[in-house]
């Protein structure tokens, strides 16, 4: 597996997003199968594993902690704080909570669930409008000084928040949605990351599965699958957006690859400090995704994609309205 560097943190060129094993994409996957998949990913060279206290809540951190305990010193664990979740019961109280004292309590709880003595990369999951980002950065500076956290990052943050946070405690990574299906970070966020030497970690790099070509207007989502409430995944939007999948499929056919591999290779080709974290619960999909690291898109391939994308207008918001309000993008 090729490696990349996120603001000084060396990781595999592709990471593994673990959220879907426990939440958001329908009923949780089988725990034993998920543990086996995480360990298999490591055998194949993956070193960056992404989780969060909110996934479950708590269940995903516990899963990742158990899976990686035997190989803890060989991997990088990224987790997140920032939602208002009762640390005892896991009950969601709604909204965000990045008060410094709460961040430190979350860190202690996450360390226990992850069965580790340090968090390699600790993200603020969403910007908290009630807490100055300088206070958040100060709390992370304290945690880094103790050794309980090694690096920190922001998720779905705007450029001014990134600048202000980085001025207090240098950021290692920014994590936000980015794919051929959503390119909103290109105008401002990516240039600021490049300027400040911050790595970028795209979540939903396969457009929440849409870019794989396995979803169409007739696909039925489980009621517990977040896509069932996303405007971009309404039957009408899916039908309108199939043209984007056709563009990716055409390149895939030309390259002897799959649409998923083209979508991931496109992200890898954007900048050397971009590390996508596709998620899956299936070994064959993991193998397919990892194949993207060996797929070289030529300048002509990228130009053809750029020209086709410039003519395509993706339909539907990427998140429900309430979720959009919680992002800084």
The answer to whether residue 95 is domain-embedded is yes
The answer to whether residue 261 is domain-embedded is yes
What are the pLDDT digits (tens) for 276-289? 999 999 999 999 99
Contacts 24+ apart (CB under 8 A), 253-260: 254/301, 255/295, 255/297, 255/301, 257/291, 257/292, 257/295, 258/212, 258/213, 258/288, 258/291, 259/211, 259/212, 259/213, 260/206, 260/211, 260/212, 260/213, 260/285, 260/288, 260/289, 260/292
Question: How many domains in the chain?
Answer: 1
- Residue 322: the pLDDT is 87
What are the residue numbers of the active site? 55
The answer to whether residue 329 is domain-embedded is no
What are the pLDDT digits (tens) for 211-222? 999 999 999 999
The answer to whether residue 236 is domain-embedded is yes
Flag whether pLDDT at 135 surpasses 90. yes
- Residue 220: the pLDDT is 96
The answer to whether residue 158 is domain-embedded is yes
Q: What is the CATH number of the domain that holds 185?
A: 3.20.20.100
pTM over 0.85: yes
The answer to whether residue 145 is domain-embedded is yes
Domain that holds residue 206: 3-324
The answer to whether residue 45 is domain-embedded is yes
């Amino acid at each position: 597996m090729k490696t990349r560097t996120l603001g000084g943190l060396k990781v595999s060129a592709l990471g593994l997003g673990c959220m879907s094993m426990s939440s958001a994409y329908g009923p949780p996957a089988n725990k034993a199968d998920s543990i086996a998949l995480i360990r298999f990913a490591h055998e194949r060279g993956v070193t960056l594993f992404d989780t969060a206290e909110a996934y479950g809540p708590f269940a995903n951190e516990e899963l990742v902690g158990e899976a990686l305990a035997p190989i803890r010193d060989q991997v990088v664990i990224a987790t997140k704080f920032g939602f208002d979740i009762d640390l005892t019961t896991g009950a969601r109280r709604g909204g965000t909570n990045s008060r410094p004292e709460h961040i430190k309590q979350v860190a202690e709880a996450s360390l226990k669930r992850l069965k580790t003595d340090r968090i390699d990369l600790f993200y603020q999951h969403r910007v908290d409008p009630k807490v100055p980002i300088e206070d958040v950065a100060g709390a992370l500076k304290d945690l880094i000084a103790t050794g309980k956290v090694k690096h920190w990052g922001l998720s779905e943050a705007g450029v001014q928040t990134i600048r202000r946070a980085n001025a207090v405690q240098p950021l290692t990574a920014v994590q936000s949605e980015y794919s051929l299906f959503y390119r909103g970070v290109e105008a401002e966020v990516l240039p600021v990351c490049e300027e400040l030497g911050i790595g970028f970690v795209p979540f939903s790099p396969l457009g929440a599965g849409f870019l794989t070509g396995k979803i169409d207007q007739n696909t039925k989502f489980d009621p517990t699958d977040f896509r069932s409430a996303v405007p971009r995944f309404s039957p009408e939007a899916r039908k309108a957006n199939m043209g984007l999948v056709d563009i990716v499929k055409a390149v895939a056919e030309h390259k002897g690859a799959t649409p998923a591999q083209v979508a991931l290779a496109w992200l890898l080709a954007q900048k050397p400090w971009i590390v996508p974290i596709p998620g899956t619960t299936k070994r064959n999909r993991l193998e397919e995704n990892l194949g993207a690291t060996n797929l070289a898109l030529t300048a002509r391939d990228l130009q053809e994609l750029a020209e086709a994308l410039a003519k395509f207008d993706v339909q539907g918001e990427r998140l429900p309205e309430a979720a959009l309000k919680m992002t800084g993008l």
